[in-house]
Structure 1
């Protein structure tokens, strides 16, 4: 799908080949990052920028992701954009713990577009409750792994029955 199909309020879900992306996908499904589109800009929470808006073209050139478009047909894009703007400049939530004033990508989306279920977070698979990647990640942060804490993930948001899958973005 061409970028011209994008509408304000479209949700963009993506994945790449980084170790963090692989760890997220291993414990969720399909996507490791998400953002919301308004006026040529991707609003998202990233490790590099915190909560920011970035030209979509710049993001796509910088990050080599496969990008998939989802739409919430009942969105009031103007209200959601106001909410999205409110959190610009907030820090990235590296720990993924809830209620600390910081945001990871799907937490930001769920905050500004409150249509998603909050679920217990997972950091492992059927064999291990916590994968080796996440054990090391949280050791370096110096905090316990938040297994079972309330949260969201990009794959879970994309599976919402409230969203309509539009297609893969070509760029």
Structure 2
């Protein structure tokens, strides 16, 4: 009898979780947080960043509804570009989370979207240096809402670290990565990450989206 009750409760819980996902109606300006499986680099990012409810987020994008299409504005790969929602979701088997600006800030969304669209084709920031004319995923979102907020910071920048927690030594993967770019590891330089933005008090996390 006890096993039967547990099975029933589990089924009910899964049902309501699925309904919750179905009930998230995406809007332009929503933020989607993603845990990519990109190997040691993503593992290193996840080791030093924290996201909503302890989730590990190594990528993010912003929703754009255009005609009947749901698109994601993202900085990844070679540049800033638009990606169909289905393609974006297919990049990771982990749950995706949707964040939405709180009502007091939603007036910023149109300008943030316009700024992001103006960056189409801008190169991906593989150096992870803020304000160098290129963009990584969360850097694009940071600058978009900064521009919308009359050029005042909306989300926060933090000192970036590429060191293994508790050791003081750089992750080997980061040493090789930046050596390949012929540059020093930008330890302590200001930057942002998807996990940090997911914890912002300016957004509400609506839940998982699949």
Tell whether 2:26 aligns with 1:6.
yes
The one of 171, 187, 210 equivalent to 1:131 is: 171
The one of 60, 80, 86 equivalent to 1:57 is: 86
> Cα distance 1:81–1:121, how it changes in 2: closer, same or farther (>3 A)?
same
The one of 13, 37, 43 equivalent to 1:17 is: 37
Q: Distance in 2 between matches of 1:90 and 1:141?
A: 19
Tell whether 2:62 aligns with 1:33.
no
Bigger Rg, which one:
2
Contact between 2:115 and 2:144, CA under 8 Å: does it hold in 1? yes
Question: For structure 1, which segment, 66-75 or 105-114, has the greater mean C-alpha deviation from structure 2 after superposition?
Answer: 66-75
Map of 1:75 onto structure 2: 106
Consecutive aligned runs of 4 or more in structure 1 exceeding 6 Å deviation: none
> Cα distance 1:88–1:65, how it changes in 2: closer, same or farther (>3 A)?
farther
Alignment TM-score, normalising by the size of structure 2: 0.75
The secondary structure found in structure 2 opposite 1:122 is: coil
Aligned length: 168
Map of 1:112 onto structure 2: 144
Contact between 1:42 and 1:54, CA under 8 Å: does it hold in 2? yes
- Give the deviation of 1:60 after TM superposition: 2.0
Contact between 1:69 and 1:169, CA under 8 Å: does it hold in 2? yes
Q: Distance in 2 between matches of 1:129 and 1:105?
A: 26
> Cα distance 1:140–1:23, how it changes in 2: closer, same or farther (>3 A)?
same
* Deviation digits for residues 69-118 of structure 1 (CA, Å, limit 9, x no counterpart): 11112223322211111111100000101221000001000000121111
Q: Distance in 1 between matches of 2:78 and 2:22?
A: 26
Q: Distance in 1 between matches of 2:193 and 2:205?
A: 17
Gaps of 5+ in 2: 1-20, 51-55, 147-153
